[in-house]
Amino acid sequence: MITTEAFATIMVYGLITSLVYALFAEGFSLIFGVARMIDAAYGLWYAAAAYMAYALVTVYNVNVFVTFFATIAALFSAGFVYYWAVLRRIKEHIEMIMTTFLIALVIQNLIVLLFTNFPWSTPAVLPGSTVVFGVSVFNQQLSAAVAAAGLLVLLWFLIYRTKVGLAIRGVAQDLDAAVCVGIKPQQTMALVLGLSTALAGLASLLVTPQSTITPVMGWPMLTLAFAIVVLGGLGDYRGTLIAAFVIGYVEIAVQNLVSPLYAGAASLIAVLLTLWIRPRGIFGKSVEH
Partner 1 sequence: MNLKISAISRTAAVAVLVVVIAAAAVGGLFLTGVLTPEQQKRQIIIGLSLPLTNPVGIHAKYAAEMAVEEINAAGGVTINGTKYQLVLVAEDTNEMDPLIPVDQGVTAFKRLIEVHGAHVIVGGVRTDVVVAQTQQLSRYKIVYLDVESNQRIVEDLVQSDYDNYKYYFHFFAGGRNSSAGPYIAQIPVALRNAARANPNFPNVTRVALVAENALWTVGLAGRPAGNSTFFQRLKAAGFDLVFAELYPTTQADFSSYLARIKASGAGLIILLFSGPPGVAFVKQWAAYDWSPGKKPIVFGPGLLGGFSWFWDQTGGAAQGTFWWPATVKVPVTPKTVPFIEKFTQRFKETPNTAAFGTYDAIYVLKEALERANTWKGDRLVEAMERTDYVGVMGRIKFDRRHHGLNLADQHLYWYFGQWQNGELVPVWSPDQRDTVRNFILP
CA distance 61 to 22: 31
Shortest spacing between CB 137 and partner 1, in angstroms: 7
Contacts of 197 (CB under 8 A, 6+ apart): 27, 42, 45, 75, 76, 78, 79, 82
Binding marks (x or -) toward partner 1, 9..48, rule CB under 8 A?
x---x---x-------------------------------
Binding residues for partner 1, total number by CB under 8 A: 44
Nearer to partner 1, 5 or 174 (CB): 5
Parallel, antiparallel, or unpaired: how do β-strands 135-138 and 129-132 relate? antiparallel
Shortest spacing between CB 107 and partner 1, in angstroms: 15
Q: E strands, 73-180, where?
A: 129-132, 135-138
Nearer to partner 1, 9 or 286 (CB): 9
Nearer to partner 1, 55 or 175 (CB): 55
Q: Phi and psi of 124, rounded to 5°?
A: -65, 135
Considering only residues 195 to 234 of the shown chain, the ones binding partner 1 according to CB under 8 A are: 207, 210-212, 214-217, 219-220
Nearest to 251 by CA among 267, 235, 237: 267
Asked if 84 interacts with partner 1 (CB under 8 A), we say no
Nearer to partner 1, 46 or 283 (CB): 46
CA distance 266 to 269: 5
| Helix, strand or coil, per DSSP, at residue 119 | coil
Query: How far does the chain reach from its first CA to its final CA, in angstroms?
Result: 45
- The answer to whether 201 and 46 have CB atoms below 8 angstroms apart is yes
Q: How many helices (H) and strands (E) does the chain have?
A: 12, 2
Nearer to partner 1, 31 or 50 (CB): 50
User: Considering only 22-30, 31-39, 237-245, 251-259, which stretch makes contact with partner 1 by CB under 8 A?
Assistant: 251-259
Of 73, 123, 146, 162, the residue at the interface with partner 1 (CB under 8 A) is: 123
Shortest spacing between CB 118 and partner 1, in angstroms: 5
| Helix, strand or coil, per DSSP, at residue 126 | coil
Asked if 131 interacts with partner 1 (CB under 8 A), we say yes
Nearer to partner 1, 137 or 205 (CB): 137
Asked if 2 interacts with partner 1 (CB under 8 A), we say no
Contacts of 67 (CB under 8 A, 6+ apart): 53, 56, 57
Asked if 105 interacts with partner 1 (CB under 8 A), we say no
Of 38, 55, 139, 275, the residue at the interface with partner 1 (CB under 8 A) is: 139
Site residues (vs partner 1, CB under 8 A): 5-6, 9, 13, 17, 112-113, 116-121, 123-124, 127-131, 135-141, 207, 210-212, 214-217, 219-220, 252, 255-256, 259-261, 264
